[in-house]
Amino acid sequence: METIKEKHHLEKIMSGGILSPKGYKAAGVHAGLRYTKKDLGIILSEVPAACAAVYTKNQLTAAPLQVTKESIAVERKLQGIVVNSACANACTGRQGLADAYEMRKYAANAFGVKEHYMAVASTGVIGEFLNMEKIKRGIDLLQPVKEETGGADFETAILTTDTVTKKTAYCTYIDGVKVTAGGAAKGSGMIHPNMATMLGFVTTDANISSAALQRALSAVTDQTFNQITVDGDTSTNDMVVVLANGTAGNRQLDEDHPEWDKFMNLLKTTSEELAKKIARDGEGATKLIEVRVSGMRTVEEAQLAAKTIVGSNLVKTAVFGADGNWGRVIAAMGRSGISFNPDDVTIYFGSHLLLKESEPVAFCEESVTAYLKNEHVTIDVLLQEGGCSGTAWGCDLTYDYVKINGSYRS
């Protein structure tokens, strides 16, 4: 029996993922696009679901994004998402667009849903055509199930240079009923959203309108997925899609609902964890770097400063080398494009104070070096411009990043 206290808290579902909410199935198979690994997956809702999506800001938009936008525009509902890895189907002209449409149509027919209820996504090498014979054969092999094995197969099928799968799930109580959100994502390189080589899929059984869900996702993305960076490059294929099938049974959510904040916290926490997992799995990365900037006039300024710092190659290499070089942090801050008093900057690496109101502080090099060898490194920058703060996540820059990207296509 759930206690009243428990019903007011957000709860992490251990080993949870996209199938933790009610009413979803998933699968992943090896269609032959990659040598041996799974490379084609699907998420299916048992009923048409409210949906929302955000996309790359790159002017070169891959064909699957164009087709998915068109699907969503019809009724603002989706029932399935079919995803392939190995080939991005980007910069492929009219043939690429035709292939994306064919992929949507074939999957919709295979699973008995309306064509515009199916979204498509692709990730992999740019400028190569999809092997549609293998795509269709792979779709025929997909057998979506409710069990977590289906979610695990999907999570594996969407990976490219990722070293680990990325999933999470949380639940809360709204209107006295349990509401759950789960997610799966891929992303390892070419990560500098708005957005990046990043695909994110969130499922929830919440009852919410598509319009309210879109507003929620857009707000949450600015604080989570758009606050990670690996290498400063922005992909052609980035997309985050949320499905909400309403099977939890709560009253329909929007900003006027008395427990709207609970849903926002559920979506934000799920998205933030996926974003951090992507940042930690940056190509060749050994550490997650979290930069927190506080004391700014606006949240936007704080977020920009934090993302500039965490995206600095000099900061990233200093963290890789466990070098307490706070000068690289303040230098990145200075070129971030925001205005601040350069005489009022305080910097911490973890609990180690290195700079106080722009005056260097004596610190133990050995202790700071030992701290920077941790897998999760936090850098705090404190200013005195206002009361707003922002956070960004990234990873260190290692020798392996060059190795991976020097031969990615070949």
* Six token digits for residue 7: 């019903």
Q: How far apart are CA 196 and CA 394, in angstroms?
A: 13
For residue 2, what are the contacts with CB-CB under 8 A and spacing of at least 6?
173, 178
Contact 72, 244 (CB under 8 A): no
The distance between the two most distant Cα atoms of the chain, rounded to a whole number of Å, is: 68
Go through the chain and tell me how many residues it has: 410
CB atoms within 10 A of CB 297: 15
CA atoms of 42 and 107, how far apart (whole Å): 9
- Active-site residues, by number, are 197
Distances (CA, A) of 263 to 171, 271, 281, 356: 9, 12, 27, 39
The helix-helix angle for 313-320 and 299-310 (nearest 10°) equals: 60
Give Cβ neighbours of residue 151 (< 8 Å, ≥ 6 apart): 17, 18, 19, 26, 167, 182, 184
> How many other β-carbons are positioned within 10 Å of the β-carbon of residue 263?
25
Give the CA-trace dihedral at 145, 176, 255, 276, to 10 degrees: -50
**DSSP 8-state class, residue 150:** H
CA terminus-to-terminus distance, the chain: 56
Pairing assessment for the beta strands 77-84 and 40-55 based on DSSP bridges: antiparallel
**CA gap 66, 100 in Å, rounded:** 9
List the 288-296 sheet strands across, edge first.
359-360, 352-356, 346-349, 376-382, 288-296, 388-395
Residue type (1 letter), 286: T
Cross-strand pairs, 378 = 290
The rounded distance, in Å, linking the Cα atoms of 333 and 344 is 12
Tokens of 102: 């064919």
Instruction: Give the amino acid at 108.
Output: A
354, two tokens? 């290195």
